A and B are shown apart, each in its own frame.
Chain A
Amino acid sequence: MTNMLYSFTGLILFVFGLFALISCPHPLRKILGGNVMSTGIFLFLVATSYRTDTASIDPVPQAMVLTGIVVSVSITAVALVLATRLQQSANRAMNRREKKNEGGAAEG
């Protein structure tokens, strides 16, 4: 019961994350969506291997998920730096264009 509940929660989280990754235009929200997606997969992995008796809980998926959490935080960090750089250069270009427009308006 518990494992079914949590594995379906994980699946739905994965789908939410996927949808956000495709449909949200804001880069930060895309990264958030990717994080939710990976969390969903982790939850699904661990919940599917969960047994009610504590003695026979499988440590292999847990170790994999532990690895996955650390890898996903590194991916998140790299993606955030890339998104920040992208945004900054886009803003800079926009500022320059607006400045030029303003200057042109003042002269004309």
Chain B
Amino acid sequence: MDSAMTIILTGFDLLLSATLLWLAWQLLRSTDIFKAIIFFICFGLLMAIAWVRMHAPDVALAEAAIGAGLTGPLFLAALRKMERKQKKERRFDPEEKRDNPDKRWQVRSREASPLMWIVAALTLCFAGLLIRTVWIIPRPLPGLAQQTAAHLGASGVDNAVTAVLLNFRGYDTMLEVMVLLLGAITIWSITHAPFPPRLPDTSPVQKSAVRLLLPLICLTGGYLVWQGAYQTGGAFQGGAVLSAALVLLLISDFLWLPDMHSLPLRMGMVLGPLVFLSMAVLGIITENALLRFPPEQAGAFLLFLEAACAISIGLSLAAFFAGGRPASDLREKPYQTDQPDTEKEGS
């Protein structure tokens, strides 16, 4: 019975890793970029299952929400922004109509063929070196499992991953929230969002589906944040689920959304880093060290911190999807040097 279980599990692992590798190869070598994006979405789905097999449910949850959920739409939206211009460009050249949209890129890659072979050989050598290095690592590797388990009581939460993230290595997480904010600031300063064109034929089915899903998504996001203290979950997963709600709102073109002022958005995005920083400073005052919490109230502190982080993570990820500063935020007309060439939809 037990050996049969091992055999089936090994078969599962083998099939899963072979499929992952095959998918990665397909997504990098397939001729069509849309196909590659679809492969990437499937890759994210299967990665979540691989994390489960590694007994890392927290990572699997983050991968399910971010890798399988959000990154695919990010790529799809970017693809559309790129392709629209290419299609317009093709109008000047009716001969090319049947060609692949990314033909330009294909041709250049074929020209660079000898160089490609050199790069491939170098990469293979590198891969061999890496595999050899991994092979000679002395096993079993030392780990921090015992130390983490020993200090779990002082951290204020029961989930070891959350304890490591927010208490033991709070610096990392603080800087990470800053990175998210920085990413959002970068995007907002690069471009303003070509705000969702109000497509003429929004289906009523979609609207009611979004209306049904939205409260449930928000509820689940909050539940995941709350649950992070003692089981799988936490600020990142909850935040990612919350951002999915915003992305759903963005893609179904609810009318009030583009007119919303960005001030609440900014406040929400800054909330997480701000709370984190003030907690850090509070730690200096009360405990004489940056980011240290009194063990008795640590649970409450961490929950507060997680809630704030989840809000700002959700808003930042949604800002990533929107891909720019909200247009309603601009005092004057958007920057228009060579607008005549671009197509303005819906206006």
Chain A positions within 8 Å of B, measured between CB atoms, are 1-3, 5-9, 11-20, 22-26, 28-29, 31-33, 35-36, 39, 42-44, 46-51, 54-60, 62-67, 69-71, 73-78, 80-85, 87-88, 91-92, 94-96, 98-99, 102
Report whether B82 and A28 are in contact in the complex, using a CB–CB cutoff of 8 Å. yes
Q: Say how far B42's CB is from chain A's closest CB, in angstroms.
A: 13
Top 7 nearest A-B pairs by Cβ distance? A77-B320, A74-B183, A59-B160, A20-B28, A63-B164, A58-B143, A9-B17
Report whether B55 and A50 are in contact in the complex, using a CB–CB cutoff of 8 Å. yes
Contact digits for B161-184, partner A, Cβ 8 Å, 1 yes 0 no: 101110001001100100110111
Q: List 6 A-B contacts (CB under 8 A).
A: A18-B123, A32-B75, A44-B134, A66-B165, A77-B183, A82-B190
Report whether A47 and B123 are in contact in the complex, using a CB–CB cutoff of 8 Å. no
Report whether B55 and A25 are in contact in the complex, using a CB–CB cutoff of 8 Å. no
CA distance A12 to B28 in the complex (A): 13
Q: Say how far B125's CB is from chain A's closest CB, in angstroms.
A: 10
> Quick one: given A8-B131, A19-B28, A25-B109, are A32 and B37 in contact (CB under 8 Å)?
yes
CA distance A57 to B159 in the complex (A): 12
> Quick one: given A66-B165, A70-B236, are A16 and B25 in contact (CB under 8 Å)?
yes
> Quick one: given A35-B71, A74-B316, are A2 and B82 in contact (CB under 8 Å)?
no
Knowing that A25-B105, A69-B66, A85-B190 touch, tell me 14 more A-B residue pairs with CB under 8 angstroms: A5-B14, A6-B13, A7-B134, A13-B24, A15-B127, A29-B36, A35-B40, A36-B24, A60-B144, A66-B59, A67-B176, A71-B179, A73-B71, A87-B82
Report whether A15 and B341 are in contact in the complex, using a CB–CB cutoff of 8 Å. no
Nearest residue (CB) in A for B182 is A74
Q: Say how far B44's CB is from chain A's closest CB, in angstroms.
A: 8
- Chain B interface SS verdict (over half): helix
When A and B form their complex, what is the total count of cross-chain residue pairs whose Cβ atoms lie within 8 Å? Answer: 252
Report whether A95 and B109 are in contact in the complex, using a CB–CB cutoff of 8 Å. no
Contact digits for B49-72, partner A, Cβ 8 Å, 1 yes 0 no: 011011110110011001100110
Report whether A46 and B145 are in contact in the complex, using a CB–CB cutoff of 8 Å. no
Report whether A73 and B89 are in contact in the complex, using a CB–CB cutoff of 8 Å. no
- B88 CB within 8 Å of chain A: yes
- B186 CB within 8 Å of chain A: yes
Report whether B130 and A57 are in contact in the complex, using a CB–CB cutoff of 8 Å. no
Contacts of B13 in A (CB 8 A): 2, 5-6
Report whether B59 and A62 are in contact in the complex, using a CB–CB cutoff of 8 Å. yes
Report whether A39 and B342 are in contact in the complex, using a CB–CB cutoff of 8 Å. no
Contacts of A1 in B (CB 8 A): 10
Contacts of B297 in A (CB 8 A): none
